[in-house]
Amino acid sequence: MTVRTLTDVLGLDILVEGDPDRQVTGGYCGDLLSWVMGRAKAGDAWMTVMGNVNAVAVAVLADVACILLVEDAGGHGRGICSAQRPDGLRAGGGAGESITTGGVNMELRPEIVSELWHSDLIESEDCGLEESQEFYRQVKEGRNLPPDVWQIGDTARFIRLKDGTPSPAELQQLLQFKQIELLKSIRRMVLFFVVLTVIGLALWFWQLLSSI
């Protein structure tokens, strides 16, 4: 069964469309992201109430076919809509929504640019002092900045993206891959502590047997 077939059979509304011809080979239901990372299988339709961007990163990492938002969690799926990855389907009557993996069409936002700038993932140059002061006044007055100028956080620091900088969608992909790497690091850390715990228990049990 493909994502398109699943959409038609269940009467789902698409929030974010990716690859409608992706094969759905199973299903997984869960809301604990670390649990889903280790247990969901590639090609699963993931049923969850988690409609935030972190769920998108987990879905990409687990290579699920789609995210199906259940329990009337459609309103929370707006976070996924802002990230637009993976696909999203919403059941008629608000019964559920889904997002399927594939395609990126994200709106570039100041917090995204700031995060990428702090991570050295974009090429830019600092704006001059007078320019920055003028841009800061524009921000305070609610006026739009030039399309290549971005504010770093809430500070008075402004940067200008250099020519050849990746497109907004590519920048969003860079950020998402950064999130995925963070999730991988967390999983490795959890595994490390689990191994340490097992070794500690084994040593304690060995000492207990030796004392008998």
Predicted local confidence at residue 154, as pLDDT: 83
Its pTM surpasses 0.75: no
Amino acid at 37: M
In whole angstroms, give the CA distance from residue 24 to residue 207. 50
* 3-class SS string, 19-40: CCCCECCEEEECCCHHHHHHHC
In whole angstroms, give the CA distance from residue 55 to residue 176. 11
Instruction: Kindly give the parts of the chain with pLDDT less than 70.
Output: 53, 72-109, 112, 121, 163-180
Estimate the crossing angle of helix 168-211 against helix 110-118, to 10 degrees.
60
Predicted local confidence at residue 109, as pLDDT: 64
Q: In what order do the strands lie in the sheet with 149-151?
A: 124-126, 158-161, 149-151
Q: How many CA atoms lie within 13 A of 140 on its CB side?
A: 8
pLDDT, tens digit, 9 for 90 and up, residues 115-154: 777 777 677 899 999 999 999 999 899 888 888 888 888 8
**C-alpha 77, offset from chain centre:** 12
Amino acid at 11: G
Please say whether the beta carbons of 77 and 97 come within 8 A: yes
> Which of 204, 21, 34 shows the shortest CA–CA distance to 100?
21
